């Protein structure tokens, strides 16, 4: 039985590994997420410092936002060197009608809420397949 379950669980693991983090198709997006962000310039906090990995950044709020989105790019890689290091300043767009370089909006997130967990079936299959592989390997090794 373990000789059959091991390859089956390995296949289930590979499939579920690649499908567990996929984004929903257009029909799977919650209707409330189709709203445009709310952008206001009232009750803005003053400039503040944020330190990450021994680097301190000065954050100067321009707008408050309320965002609804099912996927937000949470990584932005910026490479600078030489003379640019001393004068680097990360700008931000404040409109959604621009495009090209500099069209991204930089946001400082204070809180977030997971509205609905994604891909529960694939995530469960991934965990179950790992457990089955370990169990099968243990049975085949010790018996």
More confident residue, 115 or 104: 115
Span 47-96, pLDDT tens digits: 888 888 888 888 888 888 887 765 555 555 555 555 555 565 666 666 66
| DSSP-derived 3-state class of residue 26 | helix
Would you say the C-alpha torsion 115, 63, 39, 41 has a positive or negative sign? positive
Check residue 90 and give its pLDDT: 62
**Which residues make beta-bridge pairs with 64?**
40
More confident residue, 69 or 109: 109
Nearest to 130 by CA among 140, 122, 120: 122
Q: Residue 11: is its pLDDT beyond 80?
A: yes
Query: Which phi and psi angles does 38 have, rounded to 5°?
Result: -95, 125
Q: How many CA atoms lie within 13 A of 14 on its CB side?
A: 5
Nearest to 78 by CA among 58, 50, 100, 106: 106
Element of type H or E holding 71? none
Nearest to 71 by CA among 106, 100, 43, 30: 30
More confident residue, 103 or 3: 3
Instruction: Please tell me the pTM assigned to this model.
Output: 0.51
In this structure, are residues 71 and 33 in contact, taking their beta carbons and an 8 Å threshold?
Answer: no
Q: How confident is the model at residue 135 (pLDDT cuts 50, 70, 90)?
A: very high
């Amino acid at each position: 039985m373990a000789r059959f379950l091991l390859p089956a669980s390995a296949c289930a693991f590979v499939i579920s590994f690649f499908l567990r983090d996929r984004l929903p198709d257009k029909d799977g997006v919650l209707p409330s997420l189709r709203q445009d962000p709310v952008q206001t310039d009232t009750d803005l906090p003053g400039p503040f410092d944020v330190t990450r990995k021994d680097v301190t950044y000065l954050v100067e709020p321009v707008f408050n936002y309320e965002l609804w989105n099912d996927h937000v790019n949470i990584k932005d890689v910026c490479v600078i060197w030489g003379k640019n290091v001393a004068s680097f300043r990360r700008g931000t767009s404040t409109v959604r009608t621009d495009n090209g370089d500099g069209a991204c909006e930089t946001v400082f997130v204070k809180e977030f809420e997971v509205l609905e967990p994604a891909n529960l079936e694939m995530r469960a299959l991934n965990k179950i397949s790992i457990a089955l592989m370990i169990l099968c390997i243990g049975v085949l090794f010790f018996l």
